[in-house]
Amino acid sequence: MTASIPFVKMNGLGNDILVVDGRTVPTGLTADAIRRLSPRAGGIGFDQVVTLEPDPAGADVFMRIANADGGEVEACGNAARCIADRLFAETGAASLSINTLGGRLSARRRDDGIVAVDMGHARFGWQDIPLARPVDDTMAVGGVAAAEAAGLGPGSVANVGNPHIVYWVEDPDAIDLARLGPEIEHDALFPNRINATLAHVVDRARIDVRVWERGAGLTRACGTAACATAALAAHTGRTGRQVTIGLPGGDLEIAIGDDRSILMAGPVATDFTGALDPVAGTFVFDGTPEPAAAG
């Protein structure tokens, strides 16, 4: 029996994030335990778990990220806002740096209370994503069998710390992303798998999206997908550089710089707290309200 560790369950626009603190003592959270804890039925219910750690490179904190399937990944936009919000409350600071496997981010609380995160730069090279083979134009990538069979046009790819493909469609709700998502995620073109977005450009300042997340499935919001979509839309001239990305869970504001830098802003919330066994994957809630039903 391992010692239990406290957790805080948060969300960014309904993207469910579990936060554990390994800054003083390593949490020992295993991938098996994450898989047991992540389901909404019978578990805590989250899309990603983030572990706060000291950063050897000197940022205020290192954010280690794992998907619901237990796999470690490089970036999570909603988690970045969640932990910034938490650390601002803890320290009273109004800005901080966050290191991740996908690069160093910086966060600040705006005057209106919203957390804004500088998410780094979008990269569009086929090796950056990475793709399994060179393509002439990463803004129009074909050859993904499931997407082609479903009648989607070519997708645009970007790495914003993690890999994304965006398909430009008229009506994201008319496409069965629950069925297509896993097939796109696991297509041989994507050696590290991929996050897949269906994006409808409403006008030059708004895009509505639905996202299938690598390692987590359909989510109510994905911050990095919003960043990738905005960067790709600006790069291909579909929109301007300042856009609102509409997700099932709500809106994110994204601003793209001339150098492809990405600034993301949006709300976060704290849901409940508890304690978990980092090896057995068992847990107890110690706060109210109880977790919400699956959304």
Ligand X SMILES: N[C@@H](CCC[C@H](N)C(=O)O)C(=O)O
Chain positions contacting ligand X, by CB under 6 A:
15, 47-48, 67, 73, 76-78, 162, 195, 213-216, 219, 222-224
Residue 81 among known ligand-binding residues:
no
Segments of the chain assigned E as strands: 5-12, 15-21, 48-53, 61-67, 72-73, 95-100, 103-109, 115-121, 155-159, 163-168, 195-203, 206-213, 217-219, 242-247, 250-256, 261-266, 269-276, 283-285
Shortest spacing between CB 20 and ligand X, in angstroms: 16
Please, what's the b/e burial string for 260-269 (b: 16 or more CB within 10 A of its CB; e: otherwise)? bebbbbbbbe
Catalytic-residue membership of 76: yes
Q: Which is nearer to ligand X, 223 or 278 (CB)?
A: 223
Q: How far is the CB of 156 from ligand X (least distance, A)?
A: 17
> Which of residues 217 and 280 has its CB atom nearest to ligand X in the complex?
217
Question: In terms of CB distance, is 149 or 188 closer to ligand X?
Answer: 188
Nearby residues of 90 by Cβ (< 8 Å), 6 or more positions away: none
Q: Any catalytic annotation for residue 82?
A: no
Q: Which of 52, 68, 76, 194 is catalytic?
A: 76
Distance between CA atoms of 82 and 167, rounded to whole angstroms? 28
Closer CB to ligand X, 48 or 51, in the complex: 48
CB of 217 to ligand X, least distance (A): 9
99 marked as part of a ligand binding site: no
Minimal distance, residue 215 CB to ligand X, in Å: 5
Amino acid code (one letter) for 256: I
Letter for the amino acid at 231?
A
- Please tell me whether 223 is known to bind a ligand: yes
> Residues 222, 227, 265, 268: which is the catalytic one?
222
25-47: b (≥16 Cβ within 10 Å) or e: eebebeeebbbbbbebeebbbbb
- Report whether 210 belongs to an annotated binding site: no
Residue 214, annotated as binding a ligand: yes
Residues marked as catalytic: 76, 222
Numbered residues of the known binding site for substrate: 15, 48, 67, 77-78, 162, 195, 213-214, 223-224
